[in-house]
Chain A
Amino acid sequence: MAITTSKSYFWTGFREGLPFVIVVGPFGMLFGVFATEAGLNIAQTIAFSATVFAGAAQFTALQLLQDNTPTVIILASALAVNLRVAMYSASLTPYLGAAPLWQRACAAYLIVDQSYACSIVRFEAEPELTTKQRMAYFVGCVSPVAPIWILMTYLGAVLGAQIPDSWALDFALPIAFLAMIGPMMRTLPHVIAALVAIVVALLTVQVPANLGLLIAGVAGMMAGAQAELALERHKR
């Protein structure tokens, strides 16, 4: 392939990020609907999607908001869900770490599941890319997704304001979360992490302020990490 300019890498990324629109659009719309159901107005809902820019964490905050959880615990829990992006950031650092600080700051804001998944595959496959080309590709990947996420959140918020209470939306959020779990079960340690977290969460339901969630989360993380170590030792 003879594509060498960073501009063409932007468009390569754009093309490869395009299919994610199909997933991100409806997801943003669901967030908009749920946010208005939880009592947020349209401005708050859009500000949420535009500044936080992380679906799973946003859904977590909404759910806990409805359970009368103290604000500090909501923040801690939603950010814990988002620890994933810190891992993406760490994983992208060897490839993008040499870019100027302002570019890295912009890129940081744009780290989401989709831009990470796209970019890491390309960066590993083409180690000869320059930092500039990598940055162009990364921004390209997220460019179709970001405006759609915000636009669909807005449409969802407008729509959500008109949905009657009788639609059993109380359970739509749990269904959305359950649907996210399946695709995460990539390896045995992932399954173990989830199972341990579930058991601990059910045992700690009485702990005040929904703190049981954080306890269960930490237990699950440690279980996953230990399972991974044990599997590695077993393979050798």
Chain B
Amino acid sequence: MTTVSATTIWILIIGLAIGSFALRFTFIGLVGDRPIPSWLLRHLRYTAVAIIPALIAPLVVWPAATDGQPDLPRMAAAAVALTVGLVTKKVLTAIFSGAAVLYALLYLIG
């Protein structure tokens, strides 16, 4: 694992702290009672649901730990975590199901 300098980490933390507060405060603090354009709300609604899958897709298809080679335990764990999340709508159930499959398969064939 590459080591990251402490300065970089603190810049990140402070930057994210200020930025996150700004995002939360913009409307409730500054906009107040004024109406918000509906096109903006419509785009904001889909931010997390777009960014998180976009972040994850390359990591699943080309996992770093195996030098970018797709491998069975990781692909299976990914599929189980996603499926269980879709079916149960419970994040933690999905995490633990995926982790169980990952470790079971790593133990069996890894």
Contact = CB atoms under 8 A, between A and B. Distances in A.
**A and B bound?**
yes
Given A111-B24, A180-B85, A175 B12 contact: no
A77 interface: yes
A75 B57 contact: no
Interface stretch (A10-18, A147-155, A214-222): A214-222
Interface stretch (A1-9, A43-51, A120-128): A43-51
Interface in A155-212: 168, 170-185, 189-190, 193-198, 200-202, 205, 212
Contacts of B72: none
A57 B57 CA distance: 17
Contact of A87 (B10, B25, B41, B103): B41
Contacts of A202: 57-58, 61
Interface in B22-60: 23-29, 31-33, 36, 39-60
Contacts of A117: none
A61 to B, nearest CB: 6
A86 B28 CA distance: 9
Interface residues of B, number: 78
A70 to B, nearest CB: 10
Interface in B64-110: 64-65, 74, 77-78, 81-92, 94-95, 98-99, 102-103, 106
Interface string A79-113: 11111111111111110111001001101110100
A84 B27 CA distance: 12
A65 B54 contact: no
A54 to B, nearest CB: 5
How large, as a class, is the contact surface on chain A? 35 or more
Nearest to B94: A179
A107 B21 CA distance: 10
B20 A52 contact: yes
A82 B8 CA distance: 20
Q: Report which residue of B36, B48, B78, B102 has the largest number of chain A beta carbons within 10 angstroms of its beta carbon.
A: B48
Interface of A: 22-23, 26-27, 30, 37-41, 44, 47-48, 51-54, 56-58, 60-61, 63-68, 71, 74-75, 77-94, 96-98, 101, 104-105, 107-109, 111, 168, 170-185, 189-190, 193-198, 200-202, 205, 212-213, 216-225, 228-229
Interface of B: 1-4, 6, 8-17, 19-21, 23-29, 31-33, 36, 39-65, 74, 77-78, 81-92, 94-95, 98-99, 102-103, 106
Closest 5 CB pairs of A and B: A182-B85, A220-B50, A224-B46, A179-B94, A51-B17
